[in-house]
Structure 1
Amino acid sequence: MSADMLLEEPAFAGLAERHRRELHVHCYRMLGSFEDAEDTVQETFLRAWRRRETYEGRSTVRAWLYRIATNACLDLLAKCRPEPATGGEVLWLQPYPDRLLDELPAADADEPETMAVARETIELAYVVAVQHLAPRPRAVLILRDVLGWPAKDVADLLGDTVNSVNSALQRARAGMREHLPAERQDWACGEDSGTRELVRRFTDASVATDIAGLTALLRADARSAMPPTPGLHLGRDAVISDWAGDGFEDLGRLRAVATSVNRQPAVAFYLWQEESGAFLPLTIDVLRISGGAITEVFIFHDDRFPVLGLPDHLPADGTK
């Protein structure tokens, strides 16, 4: 698209919408919050419209929008989160629905490495690890390793030198290794029959409020968190103790709906409410599975159900 065409509101609006989902995912990786990413994309489009006359056509409009979005993310981080996450906890973390990830341009099936990067860099383990990086190294990592930008383009965006960008990238990669599972294959989620069976067993044990059954499914080094509620529970015993201490076994009648977020298996749980005569949203459990066991459970509150496209209730007969 020419710079002149970008000045026309219908053309600009159509182009912006074409790139909305991928920009939203980019901002989500940077910020870890679905809602903050939504606000930042809107800010990106507003800045782009106001600055449309500065677009000179030296790069693609897509790259131009990514530059604006990255700077909008850095501005938000400087204002609201000047310090990165610490200790493995990300209290602002929110899940990203797979149904919206499906709107992204399809990765080339002939490039399995590209497809793997697209999947692995949206999983919660990756997003959490990214939040532990300072904002600028975070931007460098995502632009270089996820989007594949040349170092010179990243340097131009950040107003830095190529040497500084390469140095920041090395620091960022080292920081990621501290917070990601030890081996890449441990956090790459597969949709094989073993995974589906483990999710089924987790669902059945949860609906039955069977603590012993859940214990058997967790790896010894499993971890669990429930953002935005503080508390990261490390190790199977700590996870089970937390669940049992929350009165899990006395919850009452539960129903479950299988779903997926961040390219990971997830289960939405509904609790029977007598006064409503229906099962109402309770929590969404997002699982990371490796080595035939559950290694991580992120639990999100019922306010995430609408964004994930989940029913607002399940009737008594179990039909939706």
Structure 2
Amino acid sequence: MTDVGPADADEAVFMAAVRSGDTARFALLTERHRRELQVHCYRMLANYEDAQDLTQETFLRAWNKRESFRGHAALRTWLYRIATNACLDFLDKRNGRTPTPVDLSARSEVPHLQPYPDQMLPEDPQESVVARETIELAFIVAVQHLPPRQRAVLILRDVLGWPASKAADALELTVASVTSALQRARVTMREQLRGRRLDWRSPGTGELSRDERAVLRSYMDAHERNDLDGLISLLRDDLRFAMLPDPGTVIVTAKDAVDGWVSGGLFRPGHDDWRCVATTVNRMPAAVLYLRTPDDPRYRLLNIAVLHIVDGKIAELTGFDVTDKPWLGLPPTL
């Protein structure tokens, strides 16, 4: 993920575009970095729509600051620097409007969290290899427990693999400050991600396992057949469940989770005609749930259930209410 070394042909062409004011060439050279910059903004913000907006803001700032590019660093590095600082500015404003809770425990949720569609992840295989552990919901939530600049340091150093000096330059900090911030950030991440792999830069795979595909199919089949016992059998008895944008993650037994869904009106007559579509978000298996009511001829988008599967059981289920939201390219009706 690093890009050290002298300016290559892209940088030379980019500098020529800057000198000539060639907006078309400028856009062509920056646009090829859109997907990876958008993932970077998402890791910083945990919100897909905000990440889209901040990526666009990055390109706008890049154009306005184009004369500052001297070719001493790679174009990619320069854009990451701009994106990181755009996200920090955004977080300063957002945190000013919405105070951060004093006690951010491991069970705290992120109310603005949104899933990230896999089809928008970088197409470069090297980018995809690094993506899974650092794009899964648990990682994204854990990172939000860090103060913004610690968050930026962790992502630049431990996810992107930047050296301390490069991260310090991007954030206008000293190397000692970056090193200290990284140490504190790693302690928090270990607390938040207990039992999970923390070596984020080692090779991994973005593909779902056979277990994950099988459990996802069984989960969707149980929904469509209103098989409550089947659903219970798929859930771990210490299930971590969240339904966003409602606040809070709860740990419940499998039976209590299903009983709660029923008491909320689901799986009862009139709310028991399901169709499900398999997808992946955040490199995780997900079921898109559609519900048809007696007075409606069509199945309508209800929510996205994102599953974290451990040893053939659903250990974490994060639901996103997408009622009446044609979102992530999903059809609003079936």
TM-score by length of 2: 0.85
Distance (whole Å) between structure 1 residues aligned to residue 265 and residue 193 of structure 2: 31
Q: 1:106 is aligned with what amino acid?
A: P
Once the two structures are superposed, the pairs formed by residues 1-320 of structure 1 within 5 Å of their partners are 1-2=11-12, 3-6=15-18, 7-81=21-95, 86-87=104-105, 88-101=108-121, 103-107=122-126, 115=129, 117-184=130-197, 191-236=208-253, 239-250=257-268, 251-302=271-322, 306-314=326-334
1:147 CA drift (Å): 0.7
Partners of 2:279 and 2:178 in 1: how far apart? Answer: 39
SS in structure 2 of the partner of residue 311 of structure 1: coil
Query: For residue 124 of structure 2, what is the amino acid of its counterpart?
Result: P
Aligned residue for 1:176, secondary structure, equals helix
Matching residue's letter, 2:306: V
Q: Deviations over 1:56-76 (max 9, x none)?
A: 111111111100000000001
Q: Indicate the RMSD between aligned Cα atoms, in angstroms.
A: 2.2
Q: Quote the Cα distance in structure 1 between the aligned partners of 2:181 and 2:301.
A: 43
Distance 1:190 1:17 in 2: 26
The structure-2 alpha-carbon separation of the partners of 1:182 and 1:304, relative to structure 1 and needing over 3 Å to count, comes to: farther
Amino acid at match of 1:138: R
Alpha-carbon distance, 1:207 to partner: 2.2
Kept in 1, the 8 Å contact 2:239–2:253? The answer is yes
How much has 1:27 moved relative to structure 2? Answer: 0.1
8 Å Cα contact 2:324/2:332 also seen in 1: no
Q: Distance in 2 between matches of 1:253 and 1:134?
A: 44
**2:3 corresponds to which residue?**
none
Return 5+ residue gaps in structure 2 as ranges.
1-10
The one-letter code matched in structure 2 to 1:67 is R
- Could you tell me which residue of structure 1 aligns to residue 4 of structure 2? none
Residue 31 and residue 50 in structure 1: after superposition, are their counterparts in 2 closer, same or farther (change >3 A)? same
Distance 1:84 1:133 in 2: 11
**SS at structure 2 position matched to 1:152:** helix
Q: How many residues are paired up?
A: 306
Residues 97 and 307 in structure 1, CA contact (< 8 A), matched pair in contact too = no
1:274 is displaced (CA, Å) by 4.0
Secondary structure at the aligned position of 1:121 is classed as helix
Counterpart-to-counterpart distance in 2, 1:166 and 1:303: 44
Given the superposition, is the C-alpha separation of residues 300 and 293 from structure 1 closer, same or farther in structure 2, using an over 3 Å criterion?
same
Contact 2:154–2:186 under 8 Å retained in 1 = yes
Superposed CA deviations along residues 156-214 of structure 1, whole A, max 9, x for unmatched, are 111111121111111111111111141329x9886232222211221122223333322
Whole-Å separation in 2 of the counterparts to 1:303 and 1:59: 45
1:261 and 1:286 in contact (8 A); partners too:
yes
Counterpart in the other structure of 1:318: none
CA distance in 1, matches of 2:235, 2:262: 14
CA contact (8 A) 1:270 1:282 kept: yes
Question: 1:17: Cα distance to partner?
Answer: 1.0
Local SS of the residue matching 2:135: coil
SS in 2 for 1:298: strand
TM-score by length of 1: 0.89
Deviations 1:218-260 (A, max 9, x none): 1122111122122311132553343233122212211111111
Q: Percent identity?
A: 50
Whole-angstrom distance in 2 between the partners of 1:239 and 1:145? 36
Amino acid of the structure 2 residue aligned with 1:309: G
- Which deviates more, 295-304 or 118-127? 295-304
